[in-house]
Amino acid sequence: MSEKNSHLLSNRIKSVPKSFIREILKVSNHSDIISFAGGLPNASLFPVSDIAQASAKVLEQNGAKALQYSNTEGDLSLRNLIAQRYKEKQGIDVSPESILITNGSQQAFDLIAKALLNEGDDIIIENPGYLGAIQSFSLYQPNMLTVEVNDNGMDVAQLENVLQSSKPKFVYAVPNFQNPTGISYSQENREAVAATIDKYDTLLIQDDPYGELRFSGEEKESFYSLIPDRTIMLGTFSKVVVPSFRIGWIVAPEWLMDSLIIAKQASDLHTNYFSQLVMSQYLTDNSVDEHLETIIGLYSKQRDAMLSAIEEYFPEGVTTATSDGGMFLWVTLPEGMSSMELFDDALESKVAFVPGHPFYVGEPKENTMRLSYVTVDSETIREGIKRLGKCIKNKMQ
Amino acid sequence: MSEKNSHLLSNRIKSVPKSFIREILKVSNHSDIISFAGGLPNASLFPVSDIAQASAKVLEQNGAKALQYSNTEGDLSLRNLIAQRYKEKQGIDVSPESILITNGSQQAFDLIAKALLNEGDDIIIENPGYLGAIQSFSLYQPNMLTVEVNDNGMDVAQLENVLQSSKPKFVYAVPNFQNPTGISYSQENREAVAATIDKYDTLLIQDDPYGELRFSGEEKESFYSLIPDRTIMLGTFSKVVVPSFRIGWIVAPEWLMDSLIIAKQASDLHTNYFSQLVMSQYLTDNSVDEHLETIIGLYSKQRDAMLSAIEEYFPEGVTTATSDGGMFLWVTLPEGMSSMELFDDALESKVAFVPGHPFYVGEPKENTMRLSYVTVDSETIREGIKRLGKCIKNKMQ
């Protein structure tokens, strides 16, 4: 089929910008490059043999049933385990019926957008914000409004301003160890954001892929505790157990759940049922908390290695956002320096990162960058940051 | 969260009709009912131990890699195996790069609609047609036009008429053992449909979940052979290997593939990678053709049992559409008889089917019904058809 048919494409798909990050990951993937550019968890920590055992057990115990079609909502035992964990870890009461299993959080974005957005509807996203969500929402052609995030969370005055002059269907937020900045909303900020949102006719989508990866500091309150009537919670096993299963979930109120189920059914009938059963078996036979200790042990050690190397090798005028967990550090270069230009120099020195540019909607802060510390060992982190420091210093001269 | 927020729902989701079939399946699922209503394959034929072996092998050989995020397009080894099968079975040349792995065919509908449809765009579907596709497309709010299918395939004169007075983005067709009717397009019909479509600025989506379940007759030509520039092919392992893995695919031209990849990435990043590897391993270690022989052996025996019971127990004036394979028979009751009313009588006699009504867009043929023969053994089929025959005769008096 020739290009002549490309006029048949939809407006929505024609409006999606090329993924700049994909290009960056391509050039960063060479084995001789120290890459802080990735967004993936560290595969060396995946519980391979526990998953193998769970897989074998599921087929032994369920036989053909594990391989048949299943219900759209998701396996009830898995939804029960998720509900239990909300209760145990966060003291939140969530019924299994209010949980819809999705293909990772990514599908949650798509289903929520399907159920809520008309073309041109206002939505509010964090700036900088999570690219996967921005891309998914953008296919529903909303009017994307932004509110800045800083070290303490969302800029509440700006949020109030935007809410006053718009009618957003929802505010999308990653309050714990945000991607790309690694920052968390403080308790005070959450309360202020919740109180502000509660004054308007809108919802809050709380995405939380990294919440369980806390290295230090106290757990903050969920928006679901603060404004339950307005909060939709997203969760995923991708950063806590394994990503390849693509198992995430949405906690949604009844009035929305019916529509989400229709959207899910129309989108792919249901999430891989075999893998849902394996995940459920894994969670039953193993301690997620023990596994999390291992992950947190390694990630926090490497985060500390990165922070101390930054302290040592980055010149004055470079700042790093405070982060108590997750996978990323957010670095701001001196005013006027372009991290895009720095990227080219860094690549010559065999070190890579993601420039801040693509995480912004609208005017980007060109002097920002995201560094992942999770897949590189501490010694290599030190070497990589040293090289990067040199490149920054060269740019300052 | 109270109902007060339901005004936030999107127009598209509010426009989806309640699934009537779900309700029917609910009442048909009791163990004392002989159900011809289901749409699921027969789970007793699923290759449980082969899948268990493949799963273990994948984790042994790939370790953590099998549990990490993967690429959006899908596993290349799996796409190679699919391409090989097209070559071996249908003599069709398809490159692995033109194949996108999806979560079953169901996700293929969603991604194609995302990439092609603007609100209000015309599309053409078969009448009666596949509900899953209709529901998925309907969320993109197209203008659905219909063309009737009969024993030989699509009504070509009607197709030409509809094409003359509309500008459809695509024609959606299930040319082999269609759901719900079990009919196939004849070779002549395919050629006429292809020639007609080729005169207009449109595409043909060839969905083919049942094509490999041929009991008798000769394989017909794929639309991909007839009008390659205009054909998008869909496939799935759900009816041939197992459904719970949710592995299907789209064969699409380059100009569309880029957009489908963006749509897939935004929808769920990628399909469960572990299960892709397991499917790939299963296909490498086992003969699908031998497995298909087993499926075809059982299904065709049961199809024959149903046909001979219909011959014996259904009164004159009831007709059954010719079918050489798949999972369904399509029965037309005497003019004026309502299969919806018959459904209530049948349920009292502990036998269930799906009335034809929900498969129609627009004016339904109320005297039609779909019977599945794949999950009920031959003796029980006989008993069920006997009861059904009695109900029909009662209605005729």
pLDDT tens by residue, A264-277: 999 999 999 999 99
Rg of chain B's alpha carbons, rounded to an integer? 21
**Distances from the Cα of A271 to the Cα of A68, A113, B383, angstroms:** 12, 18, 36
Asked if the C-beta of B173 comes within 8 angstroms of chain A's C-beta atoms, the answer is: no
- B2 pLDDT higher than 60: no
**CATH fold of B3-47+290-396, please?**
Aspartate Aminotransferase, domain 1 (3.90.1150)
On chain B, the residues whose CB falls within 8 A of the CB of A131 are none
Write the residue in B11, B43, B275 that is nearest to A64 by C-beta: B43
B9 vs A69: CB contact, 8 Å cut-off?
no
Q: How far apart are CA B14 and CA A201, in angstroms?
A: 19
Q: How far apart are CA B374 and CA B169, in angstroms?
A: 35
At A175, give phi and psi (nearest 5°).
-70, -15
At B377, give phi and psi (nearest 5°).
-70, 165
B19 vs A244: CB contact, 8 Å cut-off?
no
Q: How far apart are CA B348 and CA B351, in angstroms?
A: 8
pLDDT of B299-357, one tens digit each? Answer: 999 999 999 999 999 999 999 999 999 999 999 999 999 999 999 999 999 999 999 99
Q: How far apart are CA B9 and CA B13, in angstroms?
A: 7
The domain made up of A68-285 is a member of CATH 3.30.1360.100: no
Residue with tokens 């004392």: B32
On chain A, the residues whose CB falls within 8 A of the CB of B242 are 67-68, 274
Tell me the three state secondary structure of residue A149: strand
Domain covering B69-285 in this structure, CATH number = 3.40.640.10
- A239 pLDDT higher than 80: yes
Q: What is the DSSP string of A221-240?
A: PPHHHH-GGGEEEEEESTTT
Write the residue in B60, B106, B268 that is nearest to A107 by C-beta: B268
On chain A, the residues whose CB falls within 8 A of the CB of B8 are 116, 169, 201-203
C-alpha closest to that of A385 among A377, B349, B16, B308: A377
pLDDT level of residue B397 (50, 70, 90 thresholds): confident
A116 vs B273: CB contact, 8 Å cut-off?
no
**DSSP at A3:** G
Tell me the three state secondary structure of residue A353: coil
Q: From the centroid of its chain, how far is CA B360?
A: 15
- A82 pLDDT higher than 60: yes
The percentage of chain A sitting over the pLDDT mark of 70, rounded to a whole number, equals 98
Q: Residue window 266-295, chain B: list those with CB within 8 Å of chain A.
A: 266-275
Alpha helix segments (H runs only) across chain A? 11-14, 20-28, 48-62, 76-90, 104-116, 131-138, 156-164, 187-198, 223-226, 254-268, 273-285, 288-313, 339-348, 378-396
At B237, give phi and psi (nearest 5°).
-95, 0
Residue with tokens 């048909």: B28
Asked if the C-beta of B141 comes within 8 angstroms of chain A's C-beta atoms, the answer is: no
On chain A, the residues whose CB falls within 8 A of the CB of B40 are 68-69
Q: What is the mean pLDDT of chain A?
A: 95
Q: Please, what is the Cα angle at B81 between B78 and B83, to 5 degrees?
A: 110
On chain B, the residues whose CB falls within 8 A of the CB of A280 are none
Residue A278 CB partners (closer than 8 Å, separation 6+): A51, A54, A55, A58, A245
Q: How far apart are CA A251 and CA A27, in angstroms?
A: 38
B8 vs A203: CB contact, 8 Å cut-off?
yes
User: Within 13 Å of residue A184, how many CA atoms lie on the same side as its CB?
Assistant: 26
Q: Where in chain A are the domains? A: 3-47+290-396, 68-285
A5 vs B65: CB contact, 8 Å cut-off?
no
pLDDT of B52-108, one tens digit each? Answer: 999 999 999 999 999 999 999 999 999 999 999 999 999 999 999 999 999 999 999
The whole-number average pLDDT for the span B369-373 is 97
* Model ipTM over 0.85: yes
A117 vs B272: CB contact, 8 Å cut-off?
no
**Distances from the Cα of A368 to the Cα of A131, A140, A184, A329, angstroms:** 15, 28, 18, 11
C-alpha closest to that of B106 among B235, B213, B206: B235
Asked if the C-beta of A9 comes within 8 angstroms of chain B's C-beta atoms, the answer is: yes
- Specify the DSSP element, H or E, that contains B248: strand B248-251
pLDDT of A322-370, one tens digit each? Answer: 999 999 999 999 999 999 999 999 999 999 999 999 999 999 999 999 9
Asked if the C-beta of B334 comes within 8 angstroms of chain A's C-beta atoms, the answer is: no
Residue A385 CB partners (closer than 8 Å, separation 6+): A306, A309, A310, A312, A313, A314
Chain A residue with Cα closest to B270: A246
Chain A residue with Cα closest to B25: A71
pLDDT of A201-223, one tens digit each? Answer: 999 999 999 999 999 999 999 99
Tell me the three state secondary structure of residue A292: helix
- Specify the DSSP element, H or E, that contains B331: strand B328-332
The burial of B246, by beta-carbon neighbours within 10 Å (0-12 exposed, 13-18 middle, 19 or more buried), is given as buried
Asked if the C-beta of A19 comes within 8 angstroms of chain B's C-beta atoms, the answer is: yes
